[in-house]
Amino acid sequence: MSAISIQSVTKRFPNGFEALKGIDAEIKSGSFTVVLGPSGAGKSTLLRLMNGLETPTSGEVRIGGESVDAHKLRHIRSKVAMVFQQFNLVDRLSVVTNVLTGRLAHRSWVGSVFYLFRKEDMEIAQEALARVALTDKAWNRADKLSGGQQQRVGIARALAQQPKVILADEPVASLDPVSSEEIMALLREICDRDGITVVVNLHQVELARRFADRIIGMNSGKIVFDGNPEQMTQSVLRTIYQREGIEDDNSLDMALAYA
C-alpha cells in the first residue's frame, strides 16, 4: 500500500485560480520524495492537501489508505507531521514545550487545550531533541535560537508526533547553505533510520538531486516530471522551470545555473 495516494486531484480557489490540474501520484512508504518547481507551481497546495489544510475541488487524497476528509482530520494529522518554512514555533515558550506540542494529537481535547502532558510525552520530547542535537537548548526560549536551530526544533516536534509521514514545505528557504545542508541531511537520516515517508518541497535543484529517491517536477499546477535524480537533465529542468509564454525567465536561469 502507498503511504500517500493522490487520485485525479484538482484545486480551484474561490477567485477562480486553478492551483492543481488533475494530479495523480503514488508515494511509497519509507521513501524520500522532493517536489520541485518554481513559485506558483502548486507545490505548497499539494502538500496542504496531504494534511487536510486544503480540500480538493475534485479527486481524492489518501494517507495510509484512508481518505483525507473533514471527518478524519484529527486522526489523519496524528499520522502526518508538518515542517514549515517559517518554523511555526511559539517564540515565548521553551524549546522542549514547543516539541511537546507534537504530542497534542495523541491527547484528549481537554489535554490539548490545557497543554497537559504525561511523563512519557516528556521522554519522547527529550529523545526527539537528542536526535536533532539540541538537548542542551531544551529550556531556552525558542526565539533565542538561530534559524537553523529553530528548524531543528520544528523537526524534533515532528518526530515527537511519531508520524508515518513528514511533509516539509520549503524547510530550508530561510536558511544559509550550511544550515540547509544540515536540515536536509537530518530529514534524510530520519527517513532511512525510522522508515518515515518524507515529502519535501524545494526550489534548490542541487539539494533535490543529492537527497531525493524520487523527484516530482511541477509547473503551472501539473506534474511535468516524475523520476529519479539521475534523470534530471537540462531539458527536464527547462520543462519544470520554464514559464509559459516567457522567453527570458529568471527562475529558469537560476535553476540551470545551480544544476
For residue 122 the three cell numbers come to: 516528556
> How does strand 214-219 pair with strand 4-12?
unpaired
Distance, C-alpha 23 to centroid of its chain: 18
pLDDT digits (tens, 9 = 90+) for 116-152: 567 899 999 999 999 999 999 999 999 999 999 999 9
Cα 179 from Cα 204, distance rounded (Å)? 14
With left for phi above 0 and alpha for psi between -120 and 50, is residue 158 left, alpha or beta? alpha
pLDDT digits (tens, 9 = 90+) for 62-102: 999 999 987 888 888 889 999 999 898 999 999 999 999 98
Cα 52 from Cα 77, distance rounded (Å)? 8
Q: Minimal CA–CA distance to 4: which of 148, 143, 191, 196?
A: 196
What interhelical angle do 234-241 and 250-257 show, nearest 10? 150
Give the predicted TM-score (pTM) of the model.
Answer: 0.89
Predicted confidence band of residue 108 (pLDDT cuts 50, 70, 90): very low
pLDDT digits (tens, 9 = 90+) for 175-222: 999 999 999 999 999 999 999 999 999 989 999 999 999 999 999 999
What average pLDDT does the chain have?
Answer: 89
